[in-house]
Structure 1
Amino acid sequence: MTLNPNAKMEETQKGTEVYNVDPLIVKSHYEIDYIHSYAQDSEFFRAMGKKKIMGSKCKNRDCGYVYATPRGHCMMCGSETEWHELPNHGKIHAFTTCYLGSEEFLPETPFHLIMVEFDGVNSLFMARLIGADEEDLHIGMPVRAKFRRNLRFSPTDVYFVPDVPK
């Protein structure tokens, strides 16, 4: 084993851009390509191309728990689940306005995230809400799902808008 108390990291001319000192604001860049499989959740993403939201339902008839976000096994009884189409209409159970976001969403801040409650579904579905100002949001507000025309195969392919009578 070699111990070197004089070891140093290699120095370069590359530094960090500083925009402000108090509070300290610095520029950072991060980018990566990542190839992955949606595996058992593939049907959830394919269904969005058909303007459908797919959850899952416990196969155990004594349980029958319905999940807004799909899972392979029931968290209540451990039984397998099956695909279950969710309604495209629901209501706001909870909401927040995000003033910060990841690199992808930062240019869109502020934006609203909602937890959608569907009739006959035991859990909630999180998505973005567009088309409403913060002062218009309220618990119980009716919303309906909309889908991107050009899918990105991302959870953000489905979003919600206020469901107002025509």
Structure 2
Amino acid sequence: MDRYTRVMKTDPLVKEFDYNIEYIHSYAQDSKFFTSLGMGILLGSECKKCNYRYGTYRKYCMFCGSETDDINLPLTGKIHSFTTCYYSGENFINETPYTLILVEFEGIDSLFMSRLVNKENKNVYIGMPVRAKFRRLQKFDVNDVYFVPA
């Protein structure tokens, strides 16, 4: 038996082993949002027809279906809602507990979900001012942006 395989029990036989797969994913029309994070820019969208302003980047309005324009979101906002996560997938297992927040930006009609990086995960409250920070070494995922207390 190699070092990556472990027998868990024998009746019935249950075996644990590593399973790796290469996964290729395209961000397609959302690519600009992810590449902008590497430049310290947080993009949202504004509907050309109904002028709804999205905190979550999208190319088409969810209300009227019209194409949207890119807009720069403010890098400061306030917490609209939050939750503390005590369990996690592999990416954040070493950071539990961590806090997910919905950020409210002035002049933007919808919210933006992100992580609050706050060493103690204490004193978090609705209305708390926060500011965006960007990962130094970009990985082209949603965690390239996070928020800290302002």
Is the structural similarity TM-score above 0.5? Answer: yes
SS of the residue corresponding to residue 90 of structure 2 reads coil
Of 31-40 and 42-51, the range deviating more from structure 2: 31-40
Corresponding residue for residue 141 of structure 2:
154
Alpha-carbon offset, residue 108 of structure 1: 1.5
> Aligned match of 1:69 in 56, 60, 78?
56
Partners of 2:39 and 2:59 lie apart in 1 by 22
Of 34-43 and 151-160, the range deviating more from structure 2: 34-43
User: Structure 2: 5+ residue runs without aligned partners?
Assistant: 10-15
Structure 2 counterpart of 1:92, one-letter code: I
Q: Residues 6 and 17 of structure 2 are in contact (CA less than 8 Å); yes or no, is this contact kept in structure 1?
A: no
Deviations 1:118-140 (A, max 9, x none): 00111110111112533310000
Greater percentage in strand: 2
Q: Residues 132 and 161 of structure 1 are in contact (CA less than 8 Å); yes or no, is this contact kept in structure 2?
A: no
Structure 2 counterpart of 1:50, one-letter code: M
Q: Percent identity?
A: 54
Q: Which has the larger radius of gyration?
A: 1
User: Structure 1: 5+ residue runs without aligned partners?
Assistant: 1-13, 19-26
| Aligned residue pairs, count | 141
Of 138-147 and 72-81, the range deviating more from structure 2: 72-81
RMSD: 1.9
Alpha-carbon offset, residue 144 of structure 1: 0.1
Alpha-carbon offset, residue 57 of structure 1: 0.7
Corresponding residue for residue 103 of structure 2:
116
Query: Is 1:17 paired with 2:8?
Result: yes
Query: Is 1:38 paired with 2:27?
Result: yes
